[in-house]
Amino acid sequence: MRISESELEVMKLLWEKSPADLPELIERTKQRRDWDESTIKTLLRRLVGKGAIRRTGERRSYQYTPAISFREYRVDLLRHVAKSFFGSNLVEMFCFFVREEKLSAEELGELEAILKKGSENHD
């Protein structure tokens, strides 16, 4: 189930806060994109069609909720990237990142701390 760029914008609104109804989504969209209301309606409809969001409640006041969580989505996305561009090798992807992104000393420190905490959960 592929979610397009524009559709993602709507998903993000819902991930930030849901359920939400149309007026609310229209309102919150205005803060970031200059879309006509129709556009939002179309995107909602397509997302419901794709099964990416669920619609509940009564006609005229439907509530929209994401059907996949932000967490899931991000996990899948990173896995896809890892698979598609790093031969599924997560470590390689990390290395690449550290190497290319020239993280600051603080950032590197933070990461080390994270890793340390991570290892504690193992033997």
Residues lying near its own copies in the complex (CB under 8 A): 8, 71, 73-75, 77-78, 81, 84-86, 90-91, 93-101, 103-105, 107-112, 114-116, 118-119, 122-123
76: partner contacted, choices its own copies, DNA, none (Cβ within 5-8 A by kind): none
Of 123, 15, 5, 6, the closest CA to residue 72 belongs to: 15
Give the H/E segment covering residue 55: strand 53-56
CB of 29 to its own copies, least distance (A): 17
Instruction: By CB under 7 A, name the one of 13, 43, 52, 53 that touches DNA.
Output: 43
- Minimum CB separation of residue 88 from DNA in Å reads 20
Structure-token pair, residue 26: 């229209």
60-81 core/surface letters (b: 16 or more CB in 10 A; e: else): eebebebbeeeeebeeeeeeee
Q: Which does 107 bind (CB under 5 to 8 A by kind): DNA, its own copies, none?
A: its own copies
Give the C-alpha distances (Å, rounded to integers) separating 69 from 12, 14, 53, 75. 10, 10, 10, 10
Contacting residue, 7, 14, 52, 66, with DNA by CB under 7 A = 7
CB of 121 to DNA, least distance (A): 37
